[in-house]
Structure 1
Amino acid sequence: MPSLSVPHVGGQFHAQDEAGQYTFGHYGGPNTRVETRDSLGRTSGSFAYVDPEGDVQVRKYAAAPGSGFRVAASDLVEDTPAVAQVKSAHARAHEVAKLLAGNSAVTLV
């Protein structure tokens, strides 16, 4: 894990092929990062760093065609009421769209 008290002792790596797959990373000192992409375009990775308060923060992420981008983090905050309301409305609209796509005879009033 990253550290401000330990001098930078680490390394880096990178590999890539003709199919577009790759992996790279670096580690040591106040931050670290790793990322991988496969031949289907799915990307995942993580990074960690020491924040201004001296705490290590970690982010993990993944992205893929058709499923979008997802992230998990050690210091994410809860949604505000406005954001929660918009997310809920979006989820309802998405469900209606799925219903309409599966049943063309449905009529909304």
Structure 2
Amino acid sequence: MVLGALVSASTAQLLYPLPYAVPAPLAVAVPFIGAFSSQFHAQDELGQFTFATAGDNQARTEVKTLDGVVRGAYSYVDPTSKLISVNYVADANGYRVVGANNLPEAPAVPSVAGPEPVQDTPEVSQA
């Protein structure tokens, strides 16, 4: 019986390799782009609030005080990978940017000579 088991086990082995090759597993390095997001909000019965949110290469925060003034900031990453940040105030004087790193600069004003003053005609001078 033992001899029969050995004979059957020996015949079960492959006598030649398989005619096809198994490809190696494909290893591709893929950067992990994780999604990050967070937010919070708080408000009282007097209308004051604060909130913030962040995610997808952008962030925003805002606070409203009892006097009705809203102060806030937002930032984002532009297509050139530069971080753009803006701080603002909204009050009785309207919405105003109080600090930003993306404001355009005005071109230099060239200094030119002004026009000659108008000369009085002799009739006007005598009058």
- Alignment correspondent of 2:29: none
Match of 2:83 among 44, 56, 74: 56
Query: What is the alpha-carbon distance in structure 1 between the residues aligned to residue 33 and residue 67 of structure 2?
Result: 39
- Alignment correspondent of 2:11: none
Of structures 1 and 2, the one scoring higher in RCO (CA 8 A, sep 6+) is 1
TM-score of the two chains, using structure 2 as the length reference: 0.53
Secondary structure at 2:40's aligned position in 1? strand
* Structure with higher helix content: 1
Contact 1:6 1:29 in 2 (8 A): no
- Alignment correspondent of 2:96: 70
Cα deviation, residue 18, structure 1? 1.4
Unaligned runs of 5+ residues in structure 2 are 1-31, 109-127
TM-score of the two chains, using structure 1 as the length reference: 0.61
- Alignment correspondent of 1:88: none
Alignment of 1:61-100 (within 5 A): 61-65=88-92, 67-71=93-97, 72-79=99-106
Larger Rg: 2
- Alignment correspondent of 1:97: none
Distance 1:23 1:53, change over 3 A: same
Contact 1:11 1:26 in 2 (8 A): yes
How many residue pairs align between the two structures?
Answer: 77
Post-superposition CA distance 1:44-74 (Å, at most 9, x none): 0101101011111001101112x32220211
Cα RMSD, aligned residues only? 2.2
